[in-house]
Structure 1
């Protein structure tokens, strides 16, 4: 191609400079070379608190998602993260970089050196770093509207009651506590203080899990009949708190098996009317001296659905959720993982079997759940996963342990006082992420 048939490097730079000048107040003269007038397809238009662009893609591609519309920092809900363990440092703190309604303003930890270092890394002021005994001082920080409890299970009750006592809304990691009575205490304390309580069931906010719920309940492949849920991984370091019953309350079941239990309940919207379970731990492995390695449990639902759930600390990592219907099957791979979900739909297609993959935009689950709680605070909405959701799971886990102890099924049912309708322990559907 001849040189005069294409832009030279110099002419490209000239056009780029003209565009930059126009964008920043017309610094260049009006007669500077420009490629033509700006059009809405490229510039967008302000509507409310958003910049909206028309769909620039052709009919062969899906329409792009709306551009992000984050709130100004001064309008966002301010959070104090309570507990700076691995989950906070690896997932929760980085997630604030993807939130649109929330901001990190304070930290609480029992390790001063670590807290000061993390505060510097995330721009948290020195005076907004607290020890576990500093709740009265935290009360005076008006920037903190909510706390996110990320401490060992056995101290959740103490932390939630303290946060409610100083008037802060509470987002609490799962499992909610180590006993159902502790959950009730937490719900009562927050209700009495007039603050909101939400349990951090991140998967109920994750796009693939939500799409699966809609597909199963929509009945496009007929009614669900059987569910298989598995969540397993290996564990080491016998000294870690998750292997201490006094701190964790149990082993694989409350830590990772809870995803199978809560995921199945959220999928159907029903509550099981019976559970049956077995527990196993290798007798020669000192890691499982106090807590269980493996749990298998079966949930039977009023609609006739049977869910077979398994969880273990002794197998190669795998996290899967499958739903079988009369006309097909749904398979969500990496269902309970932090990322990497893939949703497959299998069904008959004439004389052959079709297996399609539904591809969605991946979103940060922690950012989604945090922003949902912020919206609930800002708009006075009941959280999708309130304290009652955590209480019901705790009651069911206690029934699972009881069944494993006796070898007999245990009758269960809806949480008293919530009714028997679908999603009785849950608030309204979360908003769709942009």
Structure 2
């Protein structure tokens, strides 16, 4: 058995000296140049960033480059309008993952919430506004973008007020309650020369973007069908839910969660539908659905002959699933409309067998990703990928869905040439 004391003595130092020696060596040690320490180089935007060569064998997926956030003083300031569940549960926490933006102002009708949330996020008291004094935001030079997280019927008013204050606008979806109101929002922002973006987070989410690129590039042949399901239940005390009031929501499950199916089908194909057929259902005697529908099933036919079959409901357990039938593969996407937990499986022929391959992609915070895209547009002057025109088109199509359900007949729409007719330039990561 080796005697530890003799070993230390043989090394010529006492136990304390060995520890002190190690500490001193660590304080002065410089790794040799042959050791991978990384280096600084210009990034895609010209800003310096730390880069490391790939340290994995080609058999492993390479690591993502380290993030390169803007210095805090250079980040784009956002005012969050409305401190409800989405703002507090998802949007404000997402700024911790943002590389280009920061929250600098809050707007709420509740002084108690304003005080509590401002303290949590370090928002100055003078940057906290009520709905009545919202227009004072024009004097806050830190605020560049107003993010509207209010009931649908309030989006137009606060978009117009923000535009008049000279602020760019990011609004939650749907844009409003009618296509007419949505178009008025576009016109108001154009009149004041400010940007308007709709928060279609799915169009920035990595799994959905990967599926879209596979469709557009023909990786598995022609897309025959897109199937989108988005369901969830709502509490029985429906009188507390603004989503059950037509004047506030514009519609029921279609406006709230079915919009994901509609917009994602358009996003996947890049096309606009030429035919829509739909049916709706509201349980008789249920006060929650006296003004809006519980369930909608609708079909979209695109110029390429791709069919989108979509189903949305407030009456079924949470399920947010998509499936793509392509000529040479089937792509299954559980949780595709969720805030997190997306998955993707590709089923196809593998020589003389069938493979079920799960695609694993690094997850990203969807809200941080869309916030950073808006911030980048403000900093560079480029147009948003999901501008107001994209939201107006969804309103037109939702109105066609309701018209088909009322008449029991398909609604035919004019064909629009080209792809991505209402979208702006793709996100920088795809440029």
SS of 1:315's equivalent in the other structure is coil
1:318 corresponding residue in structure 2: 319
- Residues 1:424 and 2:421 aligned together: yes
User: RMSD of aligned C-alpha atoms?
Assistant: 2.0
- Residues 1:157 and 2:152 aligned together: no
CA displacement, residues 59-85 of structure 1 (integer Å, 9 cap, x when unaligned): 221211111100011111100000000
Residue 413 (structure 1) shift: 3.7
SS of 2:428's equivalent in the other structure is coil
CA displacement, residues 135-170 of structure 1 (integer Å, 9 cap, x when unaligned): 331100000001000000001000100000110000
Q: Is 1:40–1:54's contact at 8 Å kept on the other side of the alignment?
A: no
Q: Distance in 2 between matches of 1:200 and 1:36?
A: 46
* 1:21-170 equivalent positions in 2, closer than 5 A: 21-22=27-28, 34=29, 36-37=31-32, 39=34, 41-47=36-42, 48-170=47-169
1:334 corresponding residue in structure 2: 335
Q: Is 1:396–1:412's contact at 8 Å kept on the other side of the alignment?
A: no
Give unpaired runs (5+ residues) of structure 1: 23-33
SS of 2:349's equivalent in the other structure is strand
Residue 286 (structure 1) shift: 2.0
1:139–1:305 distance in 2 versus 1, CA, 3 Å: same
2:290 corresponding residue in structure 1: 289
* 1:250-269 equivalent positions in 2, closer than 5 A: 250-269=251-270
Deviates more, 1:285-294 or 1:397-406: 285-294
Q: Alignment length, in residue pairs?
A: 416
Q: Distance in 2 between matches of 1:317 and 1:13?
A: 60
2:208 corresponding residue in structure 1: 209
Give unpaired runs (5+ residues) of structure 2: none
CA displacement, residues 199-244 of structure 1 (integer Å, 9 cap, x when unaligned): 0000101111111101111112110001111001111130211111
Deviates more, 1:99-108 or 1:347-356: 347-356
1:188–1:9 distance in 2 versus 1, CA, 3 Å: farther
SS of 1:133's equivalent in the other structure is coil
Residue 12 (structure 1) shift: 7.2
Residue 287 (structure 1) shift: 1.5
Residue 16 (structure 1) shift: 5.6
1:424–1:42 distance in 2 versus 1, CA, 3 Å: same
Q: Distance in 2 between matches of 1:143 and 1:209?
A: 34
CA displacement, residues 385-415 of structure 1 (integer Å, 9 cap, x when unaligned): 000000000000000001001100011246x
Q: Is 1:135–1:166's contact at 8 Å kept on the other side of the alignment?
A: no
Residue 107 (structure 1) shift: 0.3
CA displacement, residues 310-366 of structure 1 (integer Å, 9 cap, x when unaligned): 001111111111110121111111110000000111112233221101111000000
1:9–1:397 distance in 2 versus 1, CA, 3 Å: farther
* 1:187-266 equivalent positions in 2, closer than 5 A: 187-236=186-235, 237-238=237-238, 239-266=240-267
Q: Distance in 2 between matches of 1:38 and 1:210?
A: 40
